[in-house]
Amino acid sequence: YLKISKLALAFAIIHSKPPGKSSKEYTEHLAKIVCEQDFGWKWKVEVLEAEVLRLRQELLLNRICPRFCLENNTSAETLLDQECINPMNSSSQLEDSGCDVSNDSAFDSLGISSDFLQSEHNVNTSKGWLERVLPLNLCHTSKEESLTAPVQFLQHLLEIRKLSEGGVLQADFSELENDSFTICNSVAQLLDGLTVFYNSPKFPVSNFLTEAVRVLTSLITDTKLSNHVLKKCFKKMEEFEKNLIQIILRNSSVNRFQALHSVSQTLVLLGRNKILRNSLTSLLLSEVHKFAEQLLEAHQVQSMYNITQYENIFPLCLILEQILQTEREESNVSSSHYDGEEKIKFLKNLDQIILHLSDEFPLFSLYLWRVSVLLNSAQMQ
């Protein structure tokens, strides 16, 4: 039956082909039309899926708290409009020289400085209650617009959290447990969008991407919300961590240092969350230890090593050191509480690695030693 159908289709194409076209050309033309139709259907499906997610987000917010208001009514969509009307002045951003990362205020524009974590929207209780409806531009023309729905949904969750904490209204966040699909998909969209940006960052950074990073950091540092969210989205967050680490390691652009610094600061903020900290520490220890062994092997046989990766390993060492230092300060002890399998692998034969590399690579050896002290300083005293 299949052979007969194919033969019938071939005869139909031959008989219906227009003059001046060969059967092959006409077949390719028909195939292109069919592919375009398939693409159209796929686009329609994506639009409908986005609309379903928007409705689920709106429903979940209504279940948590039917009515709430915001003093600052700046939404994700408003930020995008402002970007189009009044683009950011590039003079307020650090020019990407490829090496100068001394002006940390430039990276604060990404919303990833320590001060940024303290920023909160103040609530004006005298304003009337507003029912919030999440707008969504279904025809995404940029990676920023594709993040509008998840950013605004999570913005509203954070606002409800602050209002409920202040006793202004009552909210039932147990509803997050009952609708894992919506929260997981919203967080996944946010993380995927940030990954796209970090893979090909553009400076100066738009206000909207600044807000996206702020929402992410606020979400994982909010003790009540982060427990609900990370319980459902831990694997996705771990995948996001892995992606950011690989972005740092693989970036070979000449003017890469500003971008690497912004990625590094985001990883440091992720490491401030106690749930994410152990997994991120394990990932960082694994990458640093693996590179140290590769560098030692190359040094012993006097072979070439990857200079770009050598330069990129230092941000990972700094991130690791800051995360371990944070844990040490929080636990108020002389060493880190992290006791995973990667710690054992990292410390094993580390003294020998440092001894062999210290003459040729003194800076890297120093970084290894500093990390080892933070990991196990109590035993080394």
Give the pLDDT of residue 192.
92
User: Average pLDDT, stretch 104-121?
Assistant: 43
User: Cα–Cα distance between 69 and 123 in angstroms, integer?
Assistant: 8
Of 46, 286, 291, residue with least CA distance to 189: 46
The answer to whether 266 touches 241, Cβ cutoff 8 Å, is no
**211-266 pLDDT tens trace:** 888 899 899 888 888 888 888 899 999 999 999 999 999 998 888 888 899 899 99
Give the pLDDT of residue 358.
93
Give the pLDDT of residue 240.
95
Residue 151 pLDDT class (50, 70, 90 cuts) = very high
Q: Can you give the pTM of this predicted structure?
A: 0.72
What is the percent of the chain with per-residue pLDDT over 90, rounded to a whole number?
30
Q: Which residue has the higher pLDDT, 187 or 41?
A: 187
Q: Count Cβ atoms within 10 A of the Cβ of residue 95 and give its class: 0-12 exposed, 13-18 middle, 19 or more buried.
A: middle
The total of other beta-carbon atoms located within 10 Å of residue 319's CB is: 25
User: Cα–Cα distance between 344 and 374 in angstroms, integer?
Assistant: 14
- 343 inside domain: yes
- 132 inside domain: no
User: Cα–Cα distance between 324 and 157 in angstroms, integer?
Assistant: 30
Residue 345: give the domain boundaries. 273-380
User: Cα–Cα distance between 361 and 112 in angstroms, integer?
Assistant: 31
Give the pLDDT of residue 82.
54
| Maximum mean pLDDT: which of 58-67, 85-94, 118-127, 234-243 | 234-243
- 256 inside domain: no
User: Cα–Cα distance between 282 and 345 in angstroms, integer?
Assistant: 10
Give the pLDDT of residue 248.
94
Q: Which residue has the higher pLDDT, 138 or 320?
A: 320
Give the pLDDT of residue 267.
93
User: Average pLDDT, stretch 175-182?
Assistant: 87
The total of other beta-carbon atoms located within 10 Å of residue 86's CB is: 9
- 338 inside domain: yes
Give 3-state DSSP helix, strand, coil % of the chain, rounded to 5. 70, 0, 30
For 144, residues 6+ apart whose C-beta sits below 8 A from its C-beta are 80, 83, 193, 206, 208, 209
User: Cα–Cα distance between 119 and 117 in angstroms, integer?
Assistant: 6
Q: Which residue has the higher pLDDT, 292 or 209?
A: 292
- 280 inside domain: yes
- 11 inside domain: no
Q: Which residue has the tokens 């617009």?
A: 145
Give the pLDDT of residue 228.
85
Give the pLDDT of residue 337.
65
Give the pLDDT of residue 78.
52
Q: Is the bond preceding 204 in cis, omega lying within 30 degrees of 0? A: yes
Phi, psi angle pair for 296, to nearest 5°: -65, -45
User: Average pLDDT, stretch 199-218?
Assistant: 85
User: Cα–Cα distance between 330 and 109 in angstroms, integer?
Assistant: 27
pLDDT of 187 higher than 60: yes
Return the DSSP state at 174.
Answer: T
| Maximum mean pLDDT: which of 4-18, 28-42, 87-101 | 4-18
**287-339 pLDDT tens trace:** 999 999 999 999 999 888 889 999 999 999 999 999 999 888 887 665 566 77
CA angle 262/238/245 to nearest 5° reads 40
- Number of structural domains, the chain? 1
